[in-house]
Every structure is written in structure tokens, then in C-alpha cells.
Amino acid sequence: MRVIGIDPGYDRIGIAVVEKPSSKEKENLIYSECFTTSAADDIYKRLLQVGQHIRHIITEYKPDILAMETLFITKNQKTAMHVSEARGIIAYEAGLFSLSIFEFSPPQIKAAVTGDGHCDKRAIIKMIPLLIKMSETKKHDDEYDAIAVALTCIASHSSTVHLSIST
């Protein structure tokens, strides 16, 4: 099973492709990055860039599933709206490839990765290298978050309700 994990945004997007070769083998990190768009561009150009990049990653790595963190409501409604729009673009791109979409809340992800649904980011960053084969340390929290989303999906794949979008 190959999962693309997404920590959604429009400014910075954590993206990770994780593979579970078999039930007895440890997950492998195939790819991860923190994709950024330029604050100098308007929101519509940034959303276009998000969609194009997600399409490129799906085309290149051919995941079976897309897993995404649910929107964390912030005090800044403008930011929340733009992240929602980016999530819609990401879901649309997944639908073009008939990928199943799984969503997980931050507490679900934290609990799956660390056993504590209220832990901080440092606990996730510390735990990820113990759970998955990684060749290098990641530079951005967003990458760790995307890896955590993918691992959560793999761990709970059989018991999670999902949305299936087909074209």
C-alpha cells in the first residue's frame, strides 16, 4: 500500500509518500517535502500551483490513497478559508486519479504516532524516525506532519470510513 500524506495549506504544504510493503515490514518513506508558494502571488495563482504540484506528485509516485489532516480552525478566518480552498484543490486532484481520501484530526494523528493525542510537535518529530525508515532528517515540521498523516492512515486503514471520489 502506498499513501500520500498531506498537511494541507496554501503557503506551505507538507507532502509525504509512504509505502507499507507488507504487514510484517516497516513502512518506507519514499518521498517528502515542504512545498511552498510565494506570498507575492495572489491566492488563485497559489491554489493553481498547489493543484499542479499535487498532480505531479500523484503522477510520479502513484499512491493508492491520499490521507489529509482535517482543518484546524484558527482565529484567522481568512487563513482558514484559504486552507479550505487548498484542501478542495487537493481533493479534486485525488479524485482525478480515483484515489480514496482519508481524513484525520490532529488528535487522531498525535495518538496514532505517539500514543498521546495531546502531545506537542516535538514528540511527533522524535517518534517518526523510530516508526519509519528515513534516510535523512527533515527540515520542516510540515514534512513530519505529512509523514505522520500517512502513517496514521496506514495504521488505521482497515477501520477508517473514507470518501471515495471517482470521475
The catalytic residues are 7, 69, 142
Report d(CA 131, CA 87) in Å as an integer: 27
What's the Cα-to-Cα distance from 51 to each of 86, 92, 98, 156, rounded to whole Å?
8, 8, 15, 27
Q: In the structure grid, which three cell numbers stand for residue 42, read together?
A: 495572489
Q: In the structure grid, which three cell numbers stand for residue 55, read together?
A: 498532480
Q: Provide the residue type at 38 as one letter.
A: S
Report d(CA 95, CA 86) in Å as an integer: 14
